[in-house]
Chain A
Amino acid sequence: MIRLEPAGAEALMLVLAEQPDAQLPLRIALLAERIRDELGPLLRDLVPSWSSLLLHYDLSRTDHRQLAERLRPLLPRWLAEPLPAEGGRLHQIPIWYAGADLAEVARLCRLSVEQVIELHSATEYRVGAIGFAPGFAYLGELHERLALPRRSTPRTRVPAGSLAIAERLTAVYPQASPGGWHLLGLCPWRLFDVRREPPCPLLLGDRVRFLAVDEQTFRAEGGPL
């Protein structure tokens, strides 16, 4: 049951499911693409998230009623479209597992450091949402043995490129920012750069694998000194 609800005077919220599931991000990415193709000129921004899609519309051209009327007949068709077999591009991202919280995470999870690295890098993750900061991609689903609540006191500054975990999620901080996740390692690549097109290589529904590399490879891949 899809719900369409006004979100203030200039946005329409599409709630697509009450609970997210593994395939939903890819489906929402496809839906966002269809909506962009069909109704692009009426919209200023589309914000997909775990189980919803927020459409910021141009009030000079439409409103929530008109937009909902145009979307209603199209939504079931788009949502019934088969998903691409593979689904989402695969990114292989090098990580030097030398984060400030690695030993602490191992202790809290009753694992060795090697086991933490192995469990973290063995999973293929999917981009479930992008937000919090430019290019910050929420990746799911982290192995249950690594699930920890957020740190009780967030750090005021997490270095750019930090690979971190919290609950059943993992992510790389594209810029230095405050953050409350546990730091496992460092990624040598810039994951958000306005000079590139697109500025963020990870898109909703994409798949991600982390490759454990040593310090030397990290530096060779452009990691900061």
Chain B
Amino acid sequence: MNGLRVLKPGPQSLLQDGGRHGWQHLGVSPAGPLDLHAAAWANRLLDNPWGTPLLEVALGYLELESELDTWLALTGAQVAATLDGAPLPPWSRFPLRAGQRLKLGYARSGQRAYLAVVSGFRATPQLGSVSTQLREGLGGLQGTGEPLRAGDLLPCLAANLPRALSVPWPYQPDYRAPARLRVISGGDAASFAPDQVQAFFERSWQLSPQSDRMGARLLGEPLVAPTRQWSQGVGRGAIQLPPDGQPIILQADHQTMGGYPILGWLHPLDQARLAQCPPHHELRFSPVDIGEAQAELREFYRFFGR
């Protein structure tokens, strides 16, 4: 099969789809794109169904050469993309001909770009998904959980689309704006001292450079956590408080069970915003009603056809 040849893989470019669901009872993490919003738009620009395999490109620096004529879409972080040296508009779909080179520069705003191709990149799914899980060694092009490497071929089909298309600008987020993230209360919040929950919302936090696809770690004046002994199932967006008092927000590659007390859950659509924050970015949190969050999320799923 033909496809796109990887000339430079960038620091961490990962194949992702809708995630590996239905295996958490065996300890398998769901994985999937960190920024569901940008990933959903990349697929939608090409009329791909939700969860079609695409690339999550952390920090940019990816370089590809095409072996066929097809169309791509690029969303998420602004990475100064060029096609044979000509700049490409952000959050848009564009044609790519055999022999042409696509080059992504450094991410100037945001952390992760999403690159989709018509009908998706082809790889053999494991447990129903091609999503790359680095820690578990699952998914990716070879099925070993590895990021892209120079020389890899991203198999895909030739395709033609009628015209260029961009995401309407009100839907293109400004990742440089302050991040105010909404939190659904619950979990062990009732067993925290009330002033500690209040402190979480009143204090300003920084995103730690030690964050990864498993968890976003926050830096700030430590909170006092209650203890919890028995591990329970945990989900994406859970805000855990380990004994050092620095919260960890679980992301796509989260473990399936955890024993730290949980303060609440990040609004699922704000997890996308968090995924685009650079290290040391200032984060502030505010409470949101669960019904309101669910209504927005349902609308998001309906719009993108999940």
Binary interface profile of B, 239-264, with partner A (CB < 8 Å = 1, else 0)? 00000000000000001110000100
9 closest A-B pairs by beta carbon, nearest first, are A54-B233, A47-B233, A8-B265, A131-B257, A45-B24, A50-B230, A134-B28, A52-B232, A131-B27
Task: Using known A-B contacts A59-B297, A132-B255, determine if residue A47 contacts B290 with beta carbons closer than 8 Å.
Answer: no
Residues in chain B near residue A19, CB distance under 8 A: 230
Question: Does any Cβ of A come within 8 Å of B227's Cβ?
Answer: no
B255 touches A192 (CB 8 A): no
Count residues of A near B (Cβ-Cβ below 8 Å): 44
Question: Does any Cβ of B come within 8 Å of A20's Cβ?
Answer: yes
Which residues A1-48 have CB closer than 8 A to chain B?
Answer: 5-11, 13, 15, 19-20, 32, 44-48
B235 touches A10 (CB 8 A): yes
With the chains together, A13 CA to B238 CA distance in Å? 13
Residues in chain A near residue B265, CB distance under 8 A: 7-9
Residues in chain A near residue B126, CB distance under 8 A: 194
Residues in chain B near residue A82, CB distance under 8 A: none
With the chains together, A15 CA to B255 CA distance in Å? 19
Mind listing 19 A-B residue pairs with CB under 8 Å? A6-B186, A8-B236, A8-B268, A9-B184, A9-B290, A47-B233, A47-B256, A49-B233, A50-B230, A50-B231, A52-B233, A53-B233, A54-B234, A60-B302, A60-B306, A64-B290, A133-B27, A134-B27, A204-B25
With the chains together, A56 CA to B254 CA distance in Å? 14
Question: Does any Cβ of A come within 8 Å of B237's Cβ?
Answer: yes
Task: Using known A-B contacts A9-B290, A60-B306, determine if residue A130 contacts B25 with beta carbons closer than 8 Å.
Answer: yes
With the chains together, A133 CA to B306 CA distance in Å? 28
Residues in chain A near residue B298, CB distance under 8 A: 59-60
B230 touches A20 (CB 8 A): yes
A131 touches B256 (CB 8 A): yes
What 20 new A-B contacts, CB under 8 Å, besides A8-B184, A9-B293, A15-B232?
A7-B186, A7-B262, A8-B268, A9-B294, A46-B25, A47-B25, A47-B233, A49-B257, A50-B232, A52-B233, A54-B232, A56-B235, A129-B231, A131-B233, A131-B255, A131-B256, A132-B27, A132-B257, A134-B26, A134-B28
A11 touches B235 (CB 8 A): yes
Binary interface profile of B, 93-136, with partner A (CB < 8 Å = 1, else 0)? 00000000000000000000000000000000011000000011
Task: Using known A-B contacts A10-B268, A10-B297, determine if residue A49 contacts B230 with beta carbons closer than 8 Å.
Answer: yes
With the chains together, A8 CA to B236 CA distance in Å? 9
B26, B137, B268, B294: the one contacting A130 at CB < 8 Å is: B26
With the chains together, A132 CA to B293 CA distance in Å? 29
Binding site for B on A (CB under 8 A): 5-11, 13, 15, 19-20, 32, 44-54, 56, 59-60, 63-64, 129-136, 175, 177, 192, 194, 198-200, 204
Which residues B178-194 have CB closer than 8 A to chain A?
Answer: 184, 186-187
B235 touches A175 (CB 8 A): no
Question: Does any Cβ of A come within 8 Å of B138's Cβ?
Answer: yes
Binary interface profile of B, 188-213, with partner A (CB < 8 Å = 1, else 0)? 00000000000000000000000000
With the chains together, A130 CA to B262 CA distance in Å? 20
Residues in chain A near residue B255, CB distance under 8 A: 131-133
Question: Does any Cβ of A come within 8 Å of B53's Cβ?
Answer: no
Residues in chain B near residue A60, CB distance under 8 A: 298, 301-302, 306
With the chains together, A53 CA to B232 CA distance in Å? 8
A192 touches B26 (CB 8 A): yes
Q: How close is B226's CB to chain A, nearest CB, in angstroms?
A: 15
Q: How close is B127's CB to chain A, nearest CB, in angstroms?
A: 6
Residues in chain A near residue B297, CB distance under 8 A: 9-10, 59
